[in-house]
Amino acid sequence: MKPSAAQEEKPPAAQAQPSAAQEAQPPNQEAKPPASSPLWDTFEPTLVPVSRPDHALDPHLGQTYGGYQLLRLIGTGSFSRVYLAEHVVQGTRAAVKLAEQTVMSAPALLQRFLGEARTAKAVQHPNIVRIFEISLHEGCQPYFVMEYLDGETLEAACARGPMKTEQISRIGLQLCSGLAAAHLAGIVHRDLKPENIFLIHDGERLVVKIVDFGIARREQLDEDEVRTVAGTVLGTPLYMSPEQASGLSVDGRSDIYSVGVILFQMATGRLPFQHDSLGEMFHAHANTPPPPPRSVNPTVHGELEAIILKCLEKKPDDRYRTMADLGRALAALLE
């Protein structure tokens, strides 16, 4: 393109003479930005390219929620999805849980989703998953950001068979510690099961993390609520206390019963009651005495068996009074 007349006639700009300070500056040294231009004025967060075969099938991948970019789907449930995510500024990793579309159109399910995050956030304890943020994406999709748990579920560990007494006691102690903190805050979990317990190896140390407080904080569950919310069981019948299954008022001793079922499973490699129908399972928890753990696995420690059977008493008054009491009984096995 030919320059215009105005451009042709314009005289070259006079070059300013360098100051003494500039002449003294060593060669090839970049000039520092002026103090009036902070670093954040020019900072641009870098998004991680997300190119996966399933990207086209999952529009959430690559999006950012609360500053965290979704990298990979790591878990799904009936009403939510969990993604591994990375903060675009800090570079730290977290898990982001998104509510499915069905949750947003059902007030009861939405309350359960948000209640899970609010309840866990209310109890700050090393054995309870940390919640960093609860919010709405673009003003409509509920989500929350929590710590990323790089380990395995207790469910996966139980699938490998019975555990040794020391391992059971150490896991049980941390489980009791986290639940004791929740109970002191007036929170009953009501859905304890190995799937909701994570085992993380921090060097040589094993750390237990309790997740999913979705049906916690509710003072009482009537029979219809126990059996179904939008077609799903509220609570898990395999681990549910007799009083919860019957729609009676529950307190921390209901969680103690559920812990007893989990301890039984860790010690024997199976559940105390195994039935196909929901009604039969509820009836067994309410009326059938559990088999002694040593009748299933003869290597179970006698004192551990006594602890498990006390947790599984049908009447709440016959169980341990508090999680702290149960924790002390488990601690005695390590002495």
What residues are annotated to the active site? Answer: 191
CA-CA-CA-CA torsion sign (82, 84, 210, 276): positive
Rounded alpha-carbon distances, angstroms, from residue 185 to 47, 74, 120, 124, 182: 39, 30, 11, 10, 5
Q: Say if residues 148 and 95 touch (Cβ distance below 8 Å).
A: yes
Q: What is the three-class DSSP state of 99?
A: strand
What's the CA gap between 94 and 132, in Å, rounded?
9
Residue 120's φ and ψ, nearest 5 degrees, are -65, -35
Residues in CB range of 103: below 8 A, 6 or more apart: 79, 80, 109, 110, 113, 142
Other CB atoms closer than 10 Å to residue 250's CB: what's the count? Answer: 23
Between β-strands 68-76 and 93-99, what pairing exists: parallel, antiparallel or unpaired?
unpaired
Between β-strands 93-99 and 141-146, what pairing exists: parallel, antiparallel or unpaired?
antiparallel
In the block, tokens 């700009």 appear at: 13
DSSP bridge pairs for 143: 98, 135
What's the CA gap between 145 and 96, in Å, rounded?
5
DSSP bridge pairs for 93: 86
